[in-house]
Structure 1
Amino acid sequence: MNKFRLIAGFAAILLSSIIGAAQDETRSAATWSVQKYDIQATLPAAASDRSLTSKTVLTLKNVSGKPASTLTLRISTLAAVSEIRINESVVEFSRSESTITPGTSLQRCVVRIPAVSAGGIITAVVDYKLTLKDNSGLNTISPTASHFLPLSFWYPTPNSWFSGAGADNATVRVKVNAASGVSYVGSGVEAGGVFEQKFGTQPFFATGNWDVSNVNGVAIYAPKGTSADGQKRAAEMASILTEARTFATAYLGNAPDVPLRIVAARRGAGFSSAGTVLVDESVFRRSKVDSLTTMNLVESAVRTWIGGSITATGDGYGIIREGLTRHIATEFIESKFGKDVADVERLRQRTAYSAISKRDAPMSRTSPLDDFYYPEVANKGAMAWRLLEKRVGTAEFSKALKSNAQDGDLLIFEMRNAFSAHKDLVEYLFDQVTEMNLLVGLPQISGGEARIALRNTGSIDATVNVRATLKTGPPMDASSTVKSLSFGEVVFKTNSPILRVEIDTEKLYPQIEYSDDIAPRESTDSDPVLAVKRLFDKQDYAAAEGMARVVLRDLPRLDEVRILLGRALLALNRNAEAEREFRAVLDERSPTSRSIGWANVGLAQVSSAANQNDAAAKYAETAIVADADYGASFAARNLRNKIGDLPAVDAGVKAFFTDFDRAAASNRKADLEALFIPGEAAKFVSGISGSTEQWQTQVRGVDRLDPNNVLVETSLNIKLLTKDSESGTAVYRLIKIGSGWKIAAVEMFEVR
């Protein structure tokens, strides 16, 4: 017992020291502010070289208010810093590692310099080489497509990316020396192979081999060989981006003068910076621009202001940078697609927030160090701004944003002052954890009146709409203010039986529980998609159908539930009804990518059941190349194999897998690695190297995504040491490098 206590005590001290160090990284006041990043980066010429060589020039200002004689620069622990110069003089520096979280560390390079007076400017030049082991969504080095995003910590900067007051933002100049035939993109104005951004942002770049076109003033970097349908998706995305920017002027004033770019990427989709947004390259192969891509495009349009021409820093900056951005973006969704579509988007935001709502912290005191930071500040933040806009009115809300952003920044304390008349609401939303739960009771009917009890567990009054759904006649609505930590009541004068009552029908208030907003309670899940999926996964298809119809009664555009309804109907052999649901999903203007994939699988299954195998194969192929969902792709492949309609096998691909089998059987890791793009699928290679007794690959079919990218479906029969013989399906992504193929990913490995 004493030994256990000693270990526990030591662990507590260690954890305390880690947390303390992390707080030092994120809470300390800034000494230096970056005025400009000037970066020249060189990607390796050889595919086997995994290092980015870079020279970064930082123009730094002492903002501490007192002389400074120490400069600390932070960068990835993967970087080998060879030299630092201050004002052209080479200086000595010490290195250390700072643990931010148990899985994240930053390298600290500390330089002693002659005292720089308050407000003084210095120049720091850092030469370094950053070597990657594995590619990821944050950084990739590849012969065909590389990228480095800010959160890969690929450039030196004085303040932590996890700072509670926000990461360093400055004007940026980036030049990338890439391999021949590969182009690169950043944000800002491009001239002579250099991208220069005049607004305060964070450095990034992406390289690739694109078809570049201009659509309505938006530069589209589409995958090479994009089809006519893909070009339609490009035009649709350009339209969404430009329309969203026009819409946002009503909130934020004249649009910033920045070039707009939409860039196809296999990794990093969703990232945006001052007019440049990365989108999943698969979008160009889908029948619709999916809802997530739409939201990313709209938010990127708003970010040309917020985080671009308008700086958002200081404590609680995420409420503006993430939350206000999402709120304005969702308002655009409502204006373009209708309130019912926006309600679905808001449901997704509530669901994401609900997952962490019982363990979050006040928004004004969180930082990216917290694992709940982005779900909270983006989603609860959006709800907070929506509630505030409803309270003060759109005209007054927009006026406050514009007037406070005129000086080029938008800060939380400015918003507090602007909405001082609503101080209690602002402080509750920004400075307190969510504690509110709004509950509604069953109607108590007497003498032509229905009395409905209400409850508010929050520490602020809630003014809400209460709706009664009648057995006959239209619904009845009543507004009620339920006092904090108290009860209330609404009365409906009706002789009709009340089937259902709901509190806060607009879902304005952040809550810790939403399922009890309705009486009688229809589910114990705040997430209606989960409520349906639980029943579907239990194979209780009749109950899943019933719950899906209940959800769709109020949220008819919730395509995730409509897909589950269609799949349940299919399992119940009601194919005609199922087909209607699948087609309804594909008719949506902006369904989720997952729904697009499963709708095509559903139509393939309906066609197959009707012995329409050509149509079934076509739908299955559409689901596969959409690359939208693992389960949908797997189901589509199984169906296609069942009907025996597989795409032709390329002779070069077949020969490649003959070499693969030989390399696997040789148990020489170097032979296997030579068939993969460096940095890709390293765990897969390590897992089979040196342990293979048998490896036989039969290539079933090749789905060509574009001239240089294919998905290869194979049937495997393998035997690894210490394991029984196994067989099954594996799908590889191959990319053409020069005249030969290399494996870029193992997309599916269903071998048992």
Structure 2
Amino acid sequence: MNKQLITIIVLVLFSFVLSAQGQDETRSIQTWKVQKYDVSATLPSDAASRSAGFTAVLSLRNISGKSAGSLTLRISPFADITSIKINDVSTDFTKSEEKVGSAGSLQRIAMRFPAINADATLTASVEYRLNLKENTSLATISPIGTQFLPLSFWYPTPTSWFFNRGGDRAPFRLRVNSPGPTVLTSGVETTSGFDEKINGQPYFVSGSWDLINSSGVAVYGPKSASNEAQKRIAELAALFAEARTFMSGTLGAAPEAPLKIIVVRRGAGFSGGGTVLIDESVLRRSKIDSLTATSIAEAAAKIWLGGSVTTSGEGYAILQEGLSRYLATQFIESKYGKDVADNERLRQRTAYAAVSKRDGPMRASSPLDDFFYSQAANKGAMAWRLLERKLGKADFSAILRANMADGDLNMAELRMAFSSAKDIVDYVLDQTTEMNLLVGIPQVVGDTSKVALRNTGLLDATITVKATTASGQIIESPTTIKAQSYGEVSFKSPSPIVRVEVDTEKLYPQFEYSDDVAPKELSDSDPILAVKRAFDKQDFAGAEKIALIVLKSSPRTDDVRILLGRALLALGRNVDAEREFKAILEEKLPSSRSLAWANVGLGETAARSGQNDEAVRFAEAAIVADAEYGASLAARNLRNRVGGTTSIDPTVKSFFADFDRAAVSNRKADVDALIMPGEASKFAGGIAGGTEQWQTQVRQIDRLDANNLLVETNLTIKLLTKDSETGMAVFRLTRSGNGWKLSGVETFELR
């Protein structure tokens, strides 16, 4: 054996030793693993109180491989820790701050105690109070409902929620002493609280709901829901049940987790343990929107991923977020059709393209990165689609199930399991997105058109190139473009080739999609943005032209069709515009924004033809849909323009008379008495002490449910050091006891 070969062998062996040591160091990053959370909460009985009391008992196992005599817990900086016990012994602790980027900071609680052996367990009991200045989508304390979601950092835990190998997840028990509102979370309800037996992050919401059981799903909807709202409830429940059944086809038998849908004002889209939060406005729309359907389908997938099966280690989010989104999209395809699913893939693709030029390798990304969620969910979904395409559905599912059998799923094991697709796994995990697939203009040689191709990425791309002839004939040619190389395909056709497109299925993540087509049609990877640029410049003819190009190849892109309809309306082509708006309402799974603007558009066309009652009906449908600020404002202006009126509740007029007096009294306590605690705090702070005039004229009232109203007013105000202002203001009022309280400022268009 020559010296050179011996040297190579020694270097290889040495690299294996270093690799093994590196893996051991990686494993030892975490010292404590949460086995279970047991949290008790006492919500305030005083309606004005902004704090709640908690006792959190954590069962922790030492996974460091050596004895450990210290523990650091993370919690919200607004938590006031009163005591900590380790194995029932009071323990001293120190506090410090841990910066977490744009998310602000966490409070670190550190303590020392007699060493605990490797693989042994301890209990840490933490008593604390949590103080909230104002309500947010993550944390709310209110007499009508309290809400704490994981990213409010309301409970103590050893691992940061922003750890790039995944935060702590474990079964939990939750007990909440609430003075009135019903408390809900995932898991099974018992006489003493809730038991969540699969892994999760503790959370709860409280409020006032009516329970409807449908399709095996418990839906907690608003009190006295309308008949139309009850239809949406039944549809949502059926969708959730179908999604879980679909997921079991890939992931195996469904875990024992009760399915729940909770209708909320804030925090929609969050899910855990078979429970998903849905925005209240969904029940007021004519059909389920695309985002809500995707959220429900992803919630079904996460009963397994991150629930009954832990997802941890480098690249954990590719599993928890990316695989969930991929499977959710597959479910949407099975239920609504491939064209609808392709529209969802377009949304995912363009969302990722917005960050693709500045993201990093997926295995190293963490929630601290501003591109993390867009990358993990959307690029991750594309990666799983690539893998399934290469392996076949049966083998893909079999590998996932085999690796889930031990209750843990991680990318380190899947790298080996997907060894036949190692090039794809390594590329999507370890590399930034450097791929751009380019196609050239066809060059005619005799009766053949040759098309040049290029792949700038580090992965071979096996794709389909589609050619369209002048006569409308479609010709497809499969090919593989080698990594960082060029290729060519040829098409024979008696009719000239007028358009070619590379990777027609858009399988591969790219940093640029606009040059997938030749001759080039768009300058943006995002087709919606391309149309909107022209629309915002009031180039309505240009917007129409670009929209028709997009819709020719992607006819179900409702977000583009709605811009087309609005452009046509601006051009005075009412009949054409009406056709596009109606097509939106007939879509199987449009976006909520498209639904709202379609109603605005139909209201405008009705008004132009003198059908004022119809115009009001469409305007009010857009208002209660509450999908986009611009659509809601346009709908209100339309209703007022055609003379639409609503019934004015005298108790509402009385409330605003009281509010006007409180505002000009310049006594903050008087204003605060009329506002729901924790709500509109900045608005209230801007009034007290500096108001010379405040006059409210109630114009319209839109009833959201039995306890909530949107009140449109004409408001005239004069603040110190400012000129008098007047205009539309829309306030949300919520029933509290026998009266109303202001719980939100939805519109404030004063000039």
Whole-angstrom distance in 1 between the partners of 2:478 and 2:192: 60
Whole-angstrom distance in 2 between the partners of 1:473 and 1:221: 51
How far does the alpha carbon of each residue in 1:372-430 deviate from its partner, in whole angstroms, 9 at most, with x for none? 11111111000001011101111110110011101111110121011112212210111
Residue 58 of structure 1: how far off its partner (Å): 0.7
Residue 251 of structure 1: how far off its partner (Å): 1.1
Q: 3-state SS of the aligned residue for 2:100?
A: strand
The equivalent of 1:712 in structure 2 is 711
CA contact (8 A) 1:27 1:165 kept: no
Q: 3-state SS of the aligned residue for 2:726?
A: strand
Residue identity over aligned pairs, in percent, reads 59
The equivalent of 1:7 in structure 2 is none
Which segments of structure 1 move beyond 6 Å, counting only runs of 4 or more?
Answer: none
Whole-angstrom distance in 1 between the partners of 2:104 and 2:590: 35
The equivalent of 1:159 in structure 2 is 159
CA contact (8 A) 1:256 1:305 kept: yes
The equivalent of 2:168 in structure 1 is 168
Residue 554 of structure 1: how far off its partner (Å): 1.2
Q: 3-state SS of the aligned residue for 2:310?
A: coil
Q: Which amino acid aligns with 1:211?
A: D
Q: Which amino acid aligns with 1:121?
A: T
The equivalent of 1:21 in structure 2 is none
Residue 688 of structure 1: how far off its partner (Å): 2.3
The equivalent of 1:631 in structure 2 is 630
How far does the alpha carbon of each residue in 1:227-252 deviate from its partner, in whole angstroms, 9 at most, with x for none? 11111101111111111111111210
Q: Which amino acid aligns with 2:446?
A: G
Whole-angstrom distance in 2 between the partners of 1:516 and 1:676: 54
The equivalent of 2:620 in structure 1 is 621
Pairwise mapping of residues 582-731 of structure 1 onto structure 2 (< 5 A)? 582-731=581-730
Residue 450 of structure 1: how far off its partner (Å): 0.3
How far does the alpha carbon of each residue in 1:452-497 deviate from its partner, in whole angstroms, 9 at most, with x for none? 0001111121111000011114210001111111111000011211
Q: 3-state SS of the aligned residue for 1:367?
A: coil
Residue 110 of structure 1: how far off its partner (Å): 1.0
Q: Which amino acid aligns with 1:534?
A: R
Whole-angstrom distance in 2 between the partners of 1:440 and 1:89: 69
CA contact (8 A) 1:457 1:484 kept: yes
Q: 3-state SS of the aligned residue for 1:343?
A: helix
Whole-angstrom distance in 2 between the partners of 1:568 and 1:106: 48
Residue 102 of structure 1: how far off its partner (Å): 5.0
The equivalent of 1:386 in structure 2 is 385
The equivalent of 2:10 in structure 1 is none
Whole-angstrom distance in 2 between the partners of 1:86 and 1:750: 55
Whole-angstrom distance in 2 between the partners of 1:104 and 1:695: 36
The equivalent of 2:101 in structure 1 is 101
Residue 579 of structure 1: how far off its partner (Å): 1.1
The equivalent of 1:311 in structure 2 is 310
473 and 529 in structure 1: CA distance in 2 versus 1, 3 angstrom threshold: closer
Structure 1: gaps spanning 5 or more residues:
1-25
The equivalent of 2:46 in structure 1 is 46
The equivalent of 2:518 in structure 1 is 519
Pairwise mapping of residues 493-572 of structure 1 onto structure 2 (< 5 A)? 493-572=492-571
CA contact (8 A) 1:27 1:163 kept: no
Pairwise mapping of residues 294-333 of structure 1 onto structure 2 (< 5 A)? 294-333=293-332
Q: 3-state SS of the aligned residue for 2:599?
A: helix
How far does the alpha carbon of each residue in 1:269-300 deviate from its partner, in whole angstroms, 9 at most, with x for none? 00000100000011111111111000000000
Residue 549 of structure 1: how far off its partner (Å): 1.1
Whole-angstrom distance in 2 between the partners of 1:707 and 1:251: 42
The equivalent of 1:116 in structure 2 is 116
Residue 683 of structure 1: how far off its partner (Å): 1.2
The equivalent of 2:338 in structure 1 is 339
CA contact (8 A) 1:165 1:316 kept: yes
Q: Which amino acid aligns with 1:164?
A: N
The equivalent of 2:212 in structure 1 is 213
The equivalent of 1:178 in structure 2 is 178
Root-mean-square deviation (Å): 1.1
Whole-angstrom distance in 1 between the partners of 2:90 and 2:52: 22
Q: Which amino acid aligns with 2:638?
A: L
Whole-angstrom distance in 2 between the partners of 1:742 and 1:347: 43
Whole-angstrom distance in 1 between the partners of 2:601 and 2:559: 13
The equivalent of 2:456 in structure 1 is 457
TM-score w.r.t. the length of structure 1 is 0.95
TM-score w.r.t. the length of structure 2 is 0.96
The equivalent of 2:67 in structure 1 is 67
Whole-angstrom distance in 2 between the partners of 1:583 and 1:498: 34
The equivalent of 1:79 in structure 2 is 79
The equivalent of 1:4 in structure 2 is none
CA contact (8 A) 2:172 2:197 kept: yes
Whole-angstrom distance in 2 between the partners of 1:52 and 1:588: 45
- The count of corresponding residues between Structure 1 and Structure 2 is 726
Whole-angstrom distance in 2 between the partners of 1:65 and 1:738: 57
The equivalent of 1:133 in structure 2 is 133
How far does the alpha carbon of each residue in 1:158-197 deviate from its partner, in whole angstroms, 9 at most, with x for none? 11111111111111000111122x1011111111151101
The equivalent of 2:23 in structure 1 is none
The equivalent of 1:373 in structure 2 is 372
27 and 116 in structure 1: CA distance in 2 versus 1, 3 angstrom threshold: closer
Whole-angstrom distance in 2 between the partners of 1:104 and 1:315: 24
The equivalent of 2:201 in structure 1 is 202
Q: Which amino acid aligns with 1:494?
A: S
